[in-house]
Every structure is written in C-alpha cells, then in structure tokens.
Amino acid sequence: MSFLQHKWTEYSRQPNPPRRYSGQREFEADWVGGLRRRYGLSQEGLAALACVSVTTVQNWENPASRKNIAPHNQDRLRDIERELWIKAHVTLLEPCPPHIRALYDLLTANKDASAQGLAGYLLAMLPANDPERARVLHWAALAHSIADPASPRTRQYEEAALQALGNADHRLSAAIENEILGSHFEDLLAMPAGPERQEKGRWIMAACERLYSRDGQPAYLWNALEVACRAPLDAAERYRLVGQLSTCLGEARVRQRIQREEAFEAAREVYATSGRVN
C-alpha cells in the first residue's frame, strides 16, 4: 500500500472525520496543500524539496487532476514530512549526551518503536531527581508524537517534562518548553475555527511571550505573532507584537519578513493601514 493510500485508509476509518472527501484523490490534494501550510512552504519550496517542477506540485494539489501522485513521489513526500517535523520539533543542544543522539538517530531513521523503547528504558533507569530526566521525558513525547500526533502518551510525557523542569531558567529548559509549545501549535492548526481555537491561541501566545521575557530571543516573539495570525486573535494583538518586533529588530526587517511569509499574512494589515504594504 502506498504512503498516501495508507493515509487515506486511516482517515476513511474515522467515525467522525473533520472533513468529508469525495474520494482518495481529493484527500491527497488536500494533504499536500496541508503539508505546505503546516510548515509555511510555498509551492516552489515544496517542489525544490521533492525535486520536481512547480507544475507537478500544482497538479498534486489539484483535486480535479487525473494524474495520480507517483509512488516514488509519495515516498519522497513521506520523507519530507518527517524531515520537516523533526526540524520543527527537535533541537540538539551541545553538549549532546550519547543517549539523546541515539534517540535522534532512531527518529531520523524512521525507527519510532525503537526510539520509544529506548526512551522508556532511560526513564526507568534515571532517578526521579536526575537533571537529565526532563529532557528524556521530552524525547519520549517526541518519539510517540512523530508516530501518532494524537497519542495520549505524548501529552502525558510533555506534562511530566514541564513538571520536571519546574522553574529552571537555562537554555535547555527554554528549548524544551518551546518545542512542547510547537506541538500545541500543531494541535491548534487542526482545530476548527471558533472560541476554543482562539482560547488555545491566547494561551500559546502568552507562553511564547513569557519565553521572550525570560530569554530575550526574538524567535519567541515571531512564534507569538504567528499564533496571533493563525488562531486568529484580535488585530490589536498583531499590532502589539509587530510593534515589539520592530523595536527589537527594526521596522524594515520585520516588514520584509511579514510580507514574504504566508504565516504572517494577517499581520500585513499593520502596514496596509498606513499605506506601506502593496
């Protein structure tokens, strides 16, 4: 069974799927488009990663196209999805212990069950007060999430990791918290529009801003702005965050990124109202 056929079969078995599709081809087209949107890729960007033409990507995303996605391209899309997921969720901070490197190697090699087993073994061996426990709990969550984003084990490990971090204030704790927030952001994107999605967005945005207040890294402000755009939250929040970023990085630099990246499209109104965005 091909990669997308397997995805379609899993989706079709859901008792109450979030969307009804006329068939597998429509599902595949939406899946490819969803992959791009999830990771902020243009069609040109996905084409470059898949080593195909932009026209090919356009055909993939066109549900009316009669051209099926070739099996070898489906395999490449599977690998791209994993590569993008790992890039978005995993930070290898140096010095990197051998057991963390081993977990990373297992995930990149598509050996999720082995990664889960190793993480479980490490947690059984580590004392409860070991300073490395929070990082291993986080990696245990990653090992389950990459295989099944809806796995309840993922959230259990994430919550345990945050508890183990406590009030720790160092580079590693910030990286772990940021990655856990990334998982919650993916959950937000999968939620239907409405008050619950906005409430979750406000929580994630506030958490990102707390990380910025603690570490002063502009990346956390960018994350908060993306949440405000994608939830979407009130325009006042987007204006406020753009103002903070402009103070920190300079207006020209911030405006250029907002104009360039689709994830921040909702923030372009900040410049449009003053006639500075075409």
Closest of 116, 92, 96 to residue 106, by C-alpha:
116
State the sign of the Cα–Cα–Cα–Cα dihedral 104, 105, 111, 115: negative
Q: Is 269 contained in some domain? A: no
Q: Is 61 contained in some domain? A: yes
Angle 254-258-259 from CA coordinates, rounded to 5° = 115
In this prediction, residue 190 has a pLDDT band, given cuts at 50, 70 and 90, of confident
What local confidence, expressed as pLDDT, does residue 278 receive? 39
Q: Kindly report which listed range (24-33, 83-92, 226-235) carries the lowest average pLDDT score.
A: 83-92
d(CA 194, CA 70): 37
For the beta carbon of residue 237, count every other beta carbon within 10 angstroms.
20
Closest of 55, 69, 58, 57 to residue 25, by C-alpha:
69
141, amino acid identity: A
Residue with tokens 């995930």: 107
Q: Is 145 contained in some domain? A: no
Contacts of 263 (CB under 8 A, 6+ apart): 40, 226, 229, 230
* Cis peptide bond prior to 17, omega within 30° of 0: no
Q: Is 175 contained in some domain? A: no
Q: Compare 19 and 116 and report the one with higher pLDDT.
A: 116
Closest of 240, 196, 195, 198 to residue 221, by C-alpha:
240
pTM of the predicted model as reported, rounded to 2 decimal places? 0.66
d(CA 169, CA 167): 6
Enter the tokens of residue 193: 């529009």
CATH of the domain at 62: 1.10.260.40
How many CA atoms lie less than 13 Å away from 271 in the CB half-sphere? 19
d(CA 163, CA 160): 5
On whether the CB atoms of residues 189 and 201 are closer than 8 A, the answer is no
Q: Is 228 contained in some domain? A: no
Q: Is 20 contained in some domain? A: yes
Q: Is the pLDDT of residue 237 over 80?
A: yes
What local confidence, expressed as pLDDT, does residue 66 receive? 80
Whole domain around residue 18: which residue ranges? 3-83
What local confidence, expressed as pLDDT, does residue 277 receive? 44
Average pLDDT, the chain: 88
Q: How far is CA 118 from CA 112, 143, 231, in A?
A: 10, 10, 36
Q: Is 200 contained in some domain? A: no
In the chain, the number of structural domains is 1
d(CA 33, CA 61): 6
Average pLDDT over residues 51-55: 96
Q: Is 275 contained in some domain? A: no
Q: Is the pLDDT of residue 188 over 90?
A: no
Q: Is the pLDDT of residue 174 over 80?
A: no
Q: Compare 183 and 185 and report the one with higher pLDDT.
A: 185
How many CA atoms lie less than 13 Å away from 186 in the CB half-sphere? 19
